[in-house]
Amino acid sequence: NAGVMQNPRHLVRRRGQEARLRCSPMKGHSHVYWYRQLPEEGLKFMVYLQKENIIDESGMPKERFSAEFPKEGPSILRIQQVVRGDSAAYFCASSPTLGGGEAFFGQGTRLTVV
């Protein structure tokens, strides 16, 4: 049973470009969470999704950031018109059911905006 898979592991974008980060949850997991870790800081919750639904996006910046978890395929975190301040590690976690199990983290995508 493969773990939570994120790709790419490292992503470099120029200011103004778009960044797409992918997360495939563990098999059997239907809940996905995205977190952002700025340098030297802890992880901050961004968004919680189930298939085809955004459940809680209270941690998402109001502009340029969006997330989806389609019926088929991975969850996508999309950042439009990236700025230097978006440089961070973005982690995805998945869990089997709401409150029914521990969330497991992927390896993260390290985004660098140049």
Partner 1 sequence: ELKVEQNPLFLSMQEGKNYTIYCNYSTTSDRLYWYRQDPGKSLESLFVLLSNGAVKQEGRLMASLDTKARLSTLHITAAVHDLSATYFCAVSGAGGTSYGKLTFGQGTILTVHP
Residues lying near partner 1 in the complex (CB under 8 A): 31, 33, 35, 41-45, 48, 55-56, 91, 93, 95, 98-99, 102-108, 110
Nearest approach, Cβ of 64 to partner 1 (angstroms)? Answer: 22
| Beta carbon nearer to partner 1, 17 or 61 | 61
| Beta carbon nearer to partner 1, 16 or 28 | 28
Nearest approach, Cβ of 59 to partner 1 (angstroms)? Answer: 8
Nearest approach, Cβ of 35 to partner 1 (angstroms)? Answer: 8
Burial 65-96 (b: 16+ CB within 10 A, else e): bebbbeeeebbbbebeebeeebbbbbbbbbbb
| Beta carbon nearer to partner 1, 34 or 79 | 34
The one-character DSSP state at 26 is P
| Exposure on the CB side of residue 69, measured as CA atoms within 13 A | 23
